[in-house]
Amino acid sequence: MSNLEVLIFDVDGTLADTERDGHRVAFNQAFDEAGLGWDWTVELYGELLQVTGGKERITLYVEKFLEDFELDKDLFEDIADFAVRLHKRKTHFYLELLQSGAIPLRPGVERLINEAREAGLRLAISTTTTPANVTYLLSATLGKESIDWFEVIAAGDIVPAKKPAPDIYTWAMEQMNISPDACMAFEDSLNGIKSSLAADLNTLITVNGYTKDDDFTGAILVLDQYGEPDASFNVLEGDAGGFSHVNVAMLKELHERN
């Protein structure tokens, strides 16, 4: 086993709790603007999260929940064209939400990123979300310069297959010319851990409201958050080795143990 050199972070649900109060709200704003009369409630959105990707989620909704949906062929070529254009407006509203500061980082994320940089660990991001959503989130929460802290930001349609496929992780590692045994992945969901495990990555999970009942078999540790020195995490599965918040020393010990 190589030394731990690289931390690869998922975004949605991991760096920030973006789904319920971010993406879902932006989707509904786009639906309103388009006069569709659709309303993705917190519960329904939880069901729709079974598929990764915003465009894919719109398509799933139409196919699975709207039997009588009729596409306006004068306006749209096909459902894919409809989803792309509706998703563009959703992204517009989501970026507005990020810029308003409505979406903070999860507890411990900023501290862990800064500690990892000080320790000389290399940082990367592997996410399904649209690239601009990543740079706006980082700029709004850590400052514009933080975008450069991440050697690789692998996001959205840059790879053909989205999570749970491993592509977005393998692509990031190829760009960094690093092998999985020198990396650790940070995820929050079933689709996410399926992707990171398929890329042979040790994976640390922090659950959230939508993923707390997911099956995280294969994770090296499952927590409710990264915690802070004065606010410890709760261990849901695995052995945290006596640590009370995620820090570099803990990650290195976990890496050696796995």
Binding site for ligand XBP (CB under 6 A): 10-13, 19, 23, 52-54, 127-130, 133, 163, 192
Helix ranges (H only) for 79-232 are 79-99, 109-118, 131-142, 167-176, 190-198
Q: Rounded to the nearest 5 degrees, what angle is found at the Cα of 125, between the Cα atoms of 120 and 127?
A: 165
Active site residue 10: yes
Q: Which is nearer to ligand XBP, 54 or 180 (CB)?
A: 54
Active site residue 214: no
Strand pairing category for 235-237 and 221-223: antiparallel
Binding site for Mg ion (CB under 5 A): 10, 12-13, 188-189, 192
CA–CA distance, 206 with 236 (Å, rounded to integer): 9
Q: How far is the CB of 133 from ligand XBP (least distance, A)?
A: 5
Token digits of residue 32: 């309103």
Beta bridge partners of 183: 6
Q: In the bound complex, which residue of the shown chain has the CB atom lying closest to Mg ion?
A: 13
Q: How far is the CB of 188 from Mg ion (least distance, A)?
A: 4
Token digits of residue 8: 């690869």
17 binds, among ligand XBP, Mg ion, none (CB under 5 to 8 A by kind): none
**DSSP state letters, 23-34:** IHHHHHHHHHHT
Q: How far is the CB of 25 from ligand XBP (least distance, A)?
A: 12
Q: How far is the CB of 244 from ligand XBP (least distance, A)?
A: 26
Q: Which is nearer to ligand XBP, 13 or 166 (CB)?
A: 13
**DSSP state letters, 38-94:** ----HHHHHHHTTS-SHHHHHHHHHHHH-TT----TTT-SSHHHHHHHHHHHHHHHH
Q: Which is nearer to Mg ion, 206 or 247 (CB)?
A: 206
53 binds, among ligand XBP, Mg ion, none (CB under 5 to 8 A by kind): ligand XBP
Q: Which is nearer to Mg ion, 82 or 210 (CB)?
A: 210
Active site residues: 10, 12
